Amino acid sequence: MLTPTERAIREAGLRVTQPRLAVLNALDAIPHADTQTIIEAARKTLPGVSHQAVYNCLDALTHAGLIRRIELAGSPARYELRPGDNHHHLVCRECGVVIDVACSKGVAPCLTLTTEQTQGFEIEEAEVVYRGLCPECATTPSPHRRQLP
Amino acid sequence: MLTPTERAIREAGLRVTQPRLAVLNALDAIPHADTQTIIEAARKTLPGVSHQAVYNCLDALTHAGLIRRIELAGSPARYELRPGDNHHHLVCRECGVVIDVACSKGVAPCLTLTTEQTQGFEIEEAEVVYRGLCPECATTPSPHRRQLP
DNA sequence: ACCTAATCTTGACATATTCAAGAAAACGGG
DNA sequence: CCCGTTTTCTTGAATATGTCAAGATTAGGT
């Protein structure tokens, strides 16, 4: 008998291994974790796992569609579970925190391009990132990151 | 008498320097150039310019709002001129080419979030990335990048 | 239990970016 | 036009993130 997580891995055509379970557990516990954080979290359940194994898992699980890679300016790659559900991200430009925001319109109307606009591209997905200040950074004067002097 | 480019640099509170002009010229000639490409292009007009100077310029000009940084999964940072005009990007997942696409709706309707959705964030901008295959990669069988075996 | 392919470990390597100290350049005032 | 102050650049090393490759181990079908 397989757990749902194990079943999902198998159904993606991948073998169920300790590093993969550790990575998925880490992502379940820490949404939008960056690579370093995932490595550290995975080592709590699987002490000696190599960083290379974690990179391999992240690549394999991303290609399999079980997780999704989020790349944001100025910080290492982050990953999240359940790429299928239709949501986007709010990113604080000061502290880098990422939170989910549901897409209010289902299939978002302005994310549909005309044939003329796509210029022959076959569009597969649209990704939206909202940038701004989180409540903490908006109220705190300045002692944060990446700000002009 | 200053050129428009020089005036823009001054009005941003920055000094007009050879490296900054070289970087802006490079970006004018090569839209969506990555850092390495910018360094090479800048050295055509200013032969010995250091990579560090180019990084400094890119940071300063980004903070000043004269250029915009675009970060895409798996490739180094890219930059573009005129961040103010309302457009988004189409990215080929095989060859990495980036092209502009105008936002068809002016102020895009679905990019407006409700107060409940923003959870206290002060949103400053929304960024949209469309991913897919460019015409060349869509018609060519496979000998490209980043594809599962 | 055995076999084979997939996956992991190890350690070096590659690439992108940042740090820090001194030298050079920009530009406002004399 | 030259000087002084401050910004910016050069140089060279360091850090961070991610990749490569060879051999050992493991998963899972038979």
The total number of residues shown for chain B amounts to 149
Q: Which tokens in the block code for residue B110?
A: 């679905």
Whether the CA torsion A78, A81, A83, A86 is positive or negative: it is: negative
Through-space separation of residue A15 CA and nucleotide C3 C1' in angstroms:
17
Interface test with B, best of A130, A144, A147 (most B CBs within 10 A): A130
Residue with tokens 């990084």: B55
pLDDT at residue B147 in the model: 32
Between A47 and A106, the higher pLDDT residue: A47
Q: Which tokens in the block code for residue A11?
A: 């159904």
> Which residues of chain B neighbour A134 with C-beta distances below 8 Å?
120-121
A117: closest CA among B81, B68, B128?
A: B128
Burial of B85 (0-12, 13-18, 19+ CB in 10 A): exposed
Between A56 and B99, the higher pLDDT residue: A56
Taking CA–CA distances from B70, the nearest residue in chain A reads: A73
What pLDDT, in 10s, does the model give residues A36-68?
999 999 999 999 999 999 999 999 999 999 999
Q: Contact B124/A132 with Cβ under 8 angstroms?
A: yes
Q: Which nucleotides of C are covered by protein (CB under 7 A)?
A: 6-12, 15-20, 25-27
Say whether pLDDT at A149 is over 60: no
Say whether pLDDT at B138 is over 60: yes
Whole-number Å distance between alpha carbons of B100 and B117: 28
DSSP B75: S
**C-alpha angle A98/A104/A108, rounded to 5°?**
100
pLDDT at residue A148 in the model: 28
Taking CA–CA distances from B116, the nearest residue in chain A reads: A101
* pLDDT classification of B83: cutoffs 50, 70, 90: low
Q: Which nucleotide is nearest, taking the CA of residue B76 and each C1'?
A: C16
Report the Cα B28 to chain-centroid distance in Å: 11
A18: closest CA among A30, A35, A6?
A: A6
Q: Provide the pairing of β-strand A87-92 with A122-133.
A: parallel
Q: Contact A124/B93 with Cβ under 8 angstroms?
A: yes
pLDDT at residue A143 in the model: 37
- Using DSSP's 3-state secondary structure scheme, residue B34 falls into strand
Between B111 and A77, the higher pLDDT residue: A77
Through-space separation of residue B48 CA and nucleotide D13 C1' in angstroms:
19
Q: What is the mean pLDDT of chain A?
A: 83
Interface of B with A (CB under 8 A): 63-64, 69-74, 77, 90, 92-93, 99, 101-105, 108-111, 113-114, 117-135, 138, 148
Report the Cα B2 to chain-centroid distance in Å: 25
Say whether pLDDT at B14 is over 70: yes
* pLDDT classification of B105: cutoffs 50, 70, 90: low
> Which residues of chain B neighbour A77 with C-beta distances below 8 Å?
73
Say whether pLDDT at B113 is over 70: yes
Whole-number Å distance between alpha carbons of A121 and B102: 14
* pLDDT classification of B146: cutoffs 50, 70, 90: very low
Tell me what percent of the residues of chain B surpass a pLDDT of 90. Answer: 44
Distance in Å, alpha carbon of B59 to nearest chain A alpha carbon? 10
Q: Contact B85/B91 with Cβ under 8 angstroms?
A: no
Between A60 and B115, the higher pLDDT residue: A60
A146: closest CA among B43, B63, B4?
A: B63
Q: Which tokens in the block code for residue A17?
A: 């291994």
Long-range contacts of B104-110 (CB under 8 A, 24+ apart): B104/A110, B104/A113, B104/A114, B104/A117, B105/A110, B108/A110, B109/A109, B109/A110, B110/A103, B110/A104, B110/A105, B110/A108, B110/A109, B110/A110, B110/A111
Report the Cα A129 to chain-centroid distance in Å: 12
Q: Contact A131/B62 with Cβ under 8 angstroms?
A: no
What pLDDT, in 10s, does the model give residues A6-33?
999 999 999 999 999 999 999 999 999 9
Query: How big is the A-B interface in CB pairs under 8 Å?
Result: 133
| Average confidence (pLDDT) over A80-104 | 79
Say whether pLDDT at A105 is over 80: no
